[in-house]
Amino acid sequence: MSLWEKATAELLDIIEWTDDSSDTMAWRFPSYENEIKYGAQLIVRPAQTAVFVDRGKIADVFPAGQYSLTTKNLPVFSTLMGWKYGFHSPFKAEVYFINTRNFTNLKWGTKNPVMLRDQEFGPVRLRSYGTYVVRVHDPAKFILEIVGTGGHFTLEDISEQLRNLIVSRFADTLGESGIPVLDLAANYNELSIFLTKKIAPEFMEYGLEVTKLLIENISLPLEVEESLDKKSSMGIIGNLDNFVKFQTAQAMEAAAKNPGGEASAGVGMGMGFAMANQLGKMMISPQQSAPGELPPMKPQQTGCMYFVAENGTKTGPFDQQTITASISSGTVVRETLLWKHGMPTWEKAESFNEFKALLQSTPPPLPL
């Protein structure tokens, strides 16, 4: 083998990249003094792009496929090298392989809370996080703007810058939206679409494309969320009196299932006393009636009971205290018919000695 044949055999005749990593975005093919054999085979696999660089200038770009490197397939490179009439000797070039697949499940999030003014809560601090998907859209621009002369460029080398860009534009978007805090969860999809469109031009400046961006959560500070939880709990509980009675009954039932324990006995007795006390308050607390209606009879009251004729209907029985209150409110007047045990017929209220003084001091109803 002659010296020329030996030298030629050491030149590159197959140029390819078998990527076994998950985060490599750009990789420069290693070559001795960057010399490539004329007619060498270039193999570009799916989701890859090969870029030839001559003395710092982007030359030819090859999508997926297999190519024979001749002046015919290297038109830009041939022009840069001045190969006007063809060339068949080895040549020098840097070959970069760019990974053009989608890089998925990339994380973004706010390091510090975003301050904004809410219509309901006033000034609030919000945090947010989500995921995004990015890919190399313009390999030549990506090399010029990001990769530079590096031989191995990974996603980690640029992810921090991309996250900062997303968070910055997210803060602007959230402040301009004017969406109330409690309605943000219903607008995650709309905010995600709007934010994607807003940052797309800036990513394109690096030769990158954001194919998807998701807002997974927008949250308030922990202490504010706890206050909201308490407010929501009160709304769910509703009537506090009914809730206390329900909790008491539940505790008594739980204690009854373990009658042997001293603790459960104490709980049962305590809950029993609490429930009895609560029921006692309910029985002696006055029940309200609608305006213009007689208060209902109190079950524990005894003594003389009265019936009242109201719109042709008998109502009652009522005790004397209830009738007195009805006279004071104007529900029972002088002409109102009353009856009590021992009376042969219904009589007007003014004829009852126990109500006469009160009715005389009470003005009659206004004439119609």
Q: Tell me which of 29-33, 124-128, 227-231, 257-261 is least confident.
A: 257-261
Query: Is the confidence at residue 135, as pLDDT, over 90?
Result: yes
The more confidently predicted of residues 143 and 312 is: 143
Closest CA to 338 of 330, 329, 347: 347
Are residues 339 and 306 in contact, defined by beta-carbon separation less than 8 angstroms? yes
pLDDT band at 236 (very low <50, low <70, confident <90, very high): low
Would you say residue 43 has pLDDT above 90? yes
Tell me the mean pLDDT in the region 184-199: 91
Q: Does a cis peptide bond (omega within 30 degrees of 0) precede residue 317?
A: yes
Residue 99 DSSP SS3: strand
Q: Which range has the worst mean pLDDT, 12-21, 166-175, 297-306?
A: 297-306
Res 226 pLDDT > 80: no
Cβ burial of 170 (10 Å; 0-12, 13-18, 19+) is buried
Longest dimension (CA), the chain: 146
Tens-place pLDDT, residues 101-117? 999 999 999 988 888 88
Q: pTM of this prediction? A: 0.58
What is the pLDDT averaged over residues 254-281? 56
Q: How far apart are CA 29 and CA 26, in angstroms?
A: 10
Percentage of the chain lying above the pLDDT 70 cut: 73
Half-sphere exposure of 296 (CA within 13 A, CB side): 10
Higher pLDDT, 164 or 75: 164
At 25 the pLDDT is 94
Task: Count other C-beta atoms under 10 Å from residue 53's C-beta.
Answer: 20
Higher pLDDT, 57 or 265: 57
Tell me what pLDDT residue 299 has.
41
